[in-house]
Structure 1
């Protein structure tokens, strides 16, 4: 071929436009169309319309024809067709509702800061914030971050912008994650095994303990942001965000701290649980005397299991406490002994839950007699009031009679009881009685029309029980048969816990609608408490099937009795 031969240009289309799926997003589809037109340099509006109508698919084309009727789609511009389908599939939502969703969105526990911000941007699409969008995103990020450390840092910033808040939040989130990874790897590589007496512990269990106890608020196996003590107030430093167990200012040798706990001791010794346990982290030696025990409570308690034990020929009452490692006697009980047993000095330390030291007067080895058993056991005497605790050290040596401890004792031969039961024999009969001297009144409007309702169908499983209960009520004289009545209310059988039936009447559809209510003022609870103030003994009267014991007075001839 010569130099003058024509050049053949083969047009190439970039990309491919598939049919529109009904379940897809029309806005995304039209955006892809715009990119396709731009890549292939298609600027003619008629050509754009023709490509859209030919590529959209049969179902979408039918929808476009319906929306354009009575005109044809070819008579509409490309923009008109796009707007018609957009309005049909995506009607503009209410900005008020969208703003409510935006302002109520908070960060989920398993959601990163970037994901949270992306969701906020998606929710703000129809909020119509315009120029204030960045300010609203910043406010929602600060309020919904759900992380105390990041939130405090953001609130401390002056002239905080959304970009600055985003940078700080992502940086602190990444730093916390990296620090946690470093600490976890350091614990696994540099673990130190403690050599102790007793049952060995594996390296795996120790490493797991360090890995899981990552909450600086309480030491539990969860994230600090999810800790239920995040709003708790520390009893040592009086600051919020942690408990005394994990307080960094905790110093048991601080006299001011000890005095503050001593003054507030009555408040902490009102709990019902006792706990005396060895604190292995503070053991200073291998001897048994160099031990530290945590005493959670030595206050008075109720409803505890108690046992009479003979100590040095004197019977004392001790409270069984399986949570206590050692047995304890209060100073008050110790002073009751006529011949004081000798107390030996001891280095054992007892502490409260908050770390407050409990003075130990000494330790003694005493003769313990329970039933036919005799043992010589250690006993600690403390300078505190409260119950004597029977700890695990004694329980492991003494065979307690648990049947007697858990037995329910029935009081018999009480003076005056038999005489009272005999005098008021009618009251304590098994059968129902009737309240004497009082008859109930039902005031019905004289012009009221009597209402008669047929009986409702009963389940076959209850028919026999209901018939027996009705016969019993009739035998006891509480109800009576009538041949004719202008009033009739259906019965409602109630099945009790023991399987028996209680017969009730559905009077709300009959008499209650035409009866006059007795507007008797119900006394307030505060008034009742004021009336009972200063009393020492109270009597509670409970009537079995009380409504069945109240007689009705006949007022009108057409009023049910």
Structure 2
């Protein structure tokens, strides 16, 4: 117990020592914090302020948050950081604003306030409002982003109630008006206008609903394994992405190639150690993907390489193409995209839907050196553009940009590449007002940073104005595997139909009927060329017609009997009508892809009955031979075969036939395959054979009876046009009749055919000597040129909400008519042209009678289309409006004068 006082003193001393230590630790901690706050300098860099692309109030707000995050509280440190991070032009501006004072001693808040007042005063309310009203939905931009941009612009517009006591903002109602007025989606505008006075929230709901629906439809139409038959990218550098390399994915920042907005990049003012240029760092060169071999997708065939190692073009003719490839939808508003110029070869010629002729009234358009040029008004200034169907975007060079008044361009990260991979720098893009005749649109225009840059009218403007070109090269987005698998399915399932042996029709035997008192005739054989002496003999019979031997393109021979001197004059001809082209097209009006089926030796697959075999005899150098099957050259053969084929395909959807050429179509691949299966089931049951080499399946365009047929309409075939262009100048009436007959086959594509052909028809009249003059030569060349540049004719569509129009006209040489469709967007497309040369009596008619005759001719010519339907009748002769008015009686004097 004697040690108790000592222990107590020891405990007291330890307690006092602990208190002293705690006080010392607290003092040291406070000192450390104080010293750290006054000496710390390691604050991460903040992006420099760019007065051309950023707003000061937004920059200052971000800077304040940066100071809060790094605990920068002292005013002198804020001022120092601000002055070190602003650009040199802003620092110079501060020195001018604080003239006579040292800006390094001015408080931070004063610096910020002075700059805020300066830039706030520099905002012009009228200019801001003009920009607000003109703001449109940019490509790839959502409605939410568009509204956010409008709100940002609206802050400077001072949309406030003029009543000082109220002061309420009416910005929301004006945003609603801009959305309804400037939206590119007509359905959104119609849905909004159906409500009497919708609020902004209601308009946003309508717009977002349509936006979601459109994206959903786009997603549903896409196939996960879709192979796009697109133009091969030349010089394109593609880096593999997480999605399997399906798209081009480049970093969004061009200064450092990292995933952030270039506006906030801290290397904007950095100097590259590699090229010594300002605005990026050397890591950019390492981040740019190098050119890699193009991966061949499933369903594609690898392209062969030329001697130099580069892919061999698919065509010797290289066409300039500017193609837009984007990894997202925000091409012009923050997205990364690249334009490519490539070689377009092997593409089929097609025509664009819902388009009107480029050379319409009110537009300045001309051809020069095989190029098409057009004059447009852009923001009120006339500019000449070259029409380039290979360019996905329209663009102007610096010269064109200056003609527009050098407007401020919106920055863009789009890269433009010319043919061969050469990069073309871009200055930005403009939202411009474009006028073409009476049509006006607000469109996007790229500006290239080059004095030699051409003004190009690309596909975006061509589609916006629904311009129809004579013909253009295009590609189709088709799932190649689906098409190939469908073809394989058809050819495997119906392998018997494509066997090379001659088919035998099991459901028909041809019967030839002689006229009463018909007399048999026998002709001596004609000499057979020695090179063809190896022909096989055929069974014999009693009749004898001379033979005509024709060599086939395949190298074989076809032996035909010249029955026009024996049997044909004595036959009762079968009068079953041959299908007209117009009737065929009505069955094909809804087709998207087409299949052409060719029967092998069509007539010879039908056997003759016993009585008819006795008539089909030919006399050859080897003796008399008798046909067992229906031969070519018999007068009744086309009608017999057409009647049989019409019965065979009756009820097959989307199917038509012209003699032995069958065409099948449908809206989609699945239904198309179903139609083919129905057809081939019937061909198999009938015992017929097809020639696979001459068949074509699932083509976007197909040549049929001398025409190119597509989903958009018809035009003359290249072979038919080339045959007409190669015809020499007629030397007599017979050669002139051959030329007019060939051109007349395509007369439905030609306006004023009778008028252009009148001077040539005059040489065909009796008692008129054949004298070929310069006027005849001009008319001859003019008709050739018109055939070569024939306008696309659309399909006559009964179930679309279109207006049928019949326009007629008359001249001193003939009358003409054209049948058109007027679509809901106001465009008019021709279905067919017709014309007729006036005879001597009709040429004596008065003009009002000629115009009336033109109406009668047009109604009769297109009776099959117009009967039972409402249509508009257009004429440029005012008196006919009263004469043909069904609800107004004709005045007595007018009637008497017309009857004289």
TM-score for both structures, normalised by structure 2:
0.24
Task: From the two aligned structures, give the one with the greater strand fraction.
Answer: 2
